[in-house]
Amino acid sequence: MKLLQLPPAELRRQLAGAGIWMRTGPFSLKVQSRIPSVVTGLTELYGQFEVRSMKESFADFHVSVNPPANLRRWLRPQATFSFDGLQPFKPLPLDQAFPILEWGLNWCVSTQAHQYLIIHAAVVEKNGLAAILPAPPGSGKSTLAAGLVLSGWRLLSDELTLIDRKTGLIHPLPRPVSLKNRSIDVIRQFAPDVYINPASHDTIKGTVAHMRPPRDSVRRQHETARPGWVIFPKWEAGAPATLTPRSQAQTFMFLAQNAFNYSHLGADGFRVGTALIDQTDCYDFRYSALDEAVATFDRLAERRTS
């Protein structure tokens, strides 16, 4: 059953009680919450995802988002993220309840899923090859990823690149795309029909909203992809879309520094990382217009598959 097939009253009841079981990529979740904005966020952004009865199903991660159990919930309403009963973050204002769920799920994967080398990067796919997009905050990474998946590329993830340590393939984790500040309006103008949920303001990342993942990306969330490119995007006002080759050594060092568990994996992290670099083309990418960026990536995909 898909989440959107649950009647709203039943979804609220299950979330407020034992929680609901969901599948996202290779992971199963048990999500519990009594906060209305979390219920709405799940309904609007995870409608195409699989759900099951909690009585029947094992879950990799048991998470909840609820008001803290103290007097402050009445004086200054807040939301707290819990993982297996632990609270890894400080409470946030109540209007940031859905963002803290998304950030918390990223934290669960990045700290627990060591069967993968996990790189902090967006990743999209076309014609069976994946483009890994690592970049510092504010570089236009998520904006570019959103533009690509709204133009025929498949969303694998906008935050976490999961590289299988045994096969070297990339496992999808196509959850909602996090858009920040100016990129929210950029994507709304680029694709007026796309669903983006109401923004949360004054977060640690500024103004944040989430774009619904494309239905086809969710449907294909168990279909792995082979690494094809590592591309470092940077938005620059007025810049033409330009790809510049980047050295493999420089690329490897950046990825190692921006992998959540590279040091934890030790020698195996080095092995998986070098194998990734050996099979990918590495570039820096500058752009200002999203349609030009998409056209550049399309040409890149056509060259690799022709």
Percentage, residues of the chain above pLDDT 70? 96
Which residues, in sequence order, are CB contacts of 224 under 8 Å at separation 6+? 164, 167, 169, 170, 171, 172
pLDDT, position 72: 60
Average confidence (pLDDT) over 271-286: 97
Q: SS3 helix, strand, coil % of the chain, rounded to 5?
A: 35, 30, 30
Q: Average pLDDT, stretch 219-224? A: 96
User: What is the spatial distance between Cα 98 and Cα 104, in angstroms, rounded to a whole number?
Assistant: 10
Assess contact for 205 and 110: CB atoms under 8 A.
no
Collapsing DSSP to helix, strand or coil, 210 comes out as: strand
Percent of the chain with pLDDT over 90: 90
- Give the pLDDT band (50/70/90) at residue 304: confident
Q: How far is CA 1 from the centre of its chain?
A: 23
Phi and psi torsions of 49, nearest 5°: -85, 150
Angle at 220 between CA 216 and CA 226, to 5 degrees: 120
- pLDDT of 287 reads 96
- List strand residue ranges (DSSP E) for 73-205, in order: 78-83, 92-93, 116-120, 122-126, 129-133, 154-157, 160-164, 170-171, 177-180, 200-203
Give the tens place of pLDDT for each residue, 238-256. Answer: 999 999 999 999 999 999 9
In 190-292, at which residue ranges do the beta strands (DSSP E only) sit?
200-203, 206-211, 226-235, 242-245, 281-287
pLDDT tens digits for range 69-93: 765 655 678 999 999 989 999 999 9
Q: Which long-range contacts (CB under 8 A, 24 or more apart) does 54-57 make?
A: 54/14, 54/18, 54/19, 54/20, 54/21, 54/30, 57/21, 57/28
Mean pLDDT of 130-151: 92
Burial class of residue 131 in the structure, from the number of CB atoms within 10 Å of its CB (0-12 exposed, 13-18 middle, 19+ buried): buried
Note the pLDDT tens digit of each residue in 28-73.
999 999 999 999 999 999 999 999 866 667 899 999 999 987 656 5
For residues 119-129, average pLDDT:
96
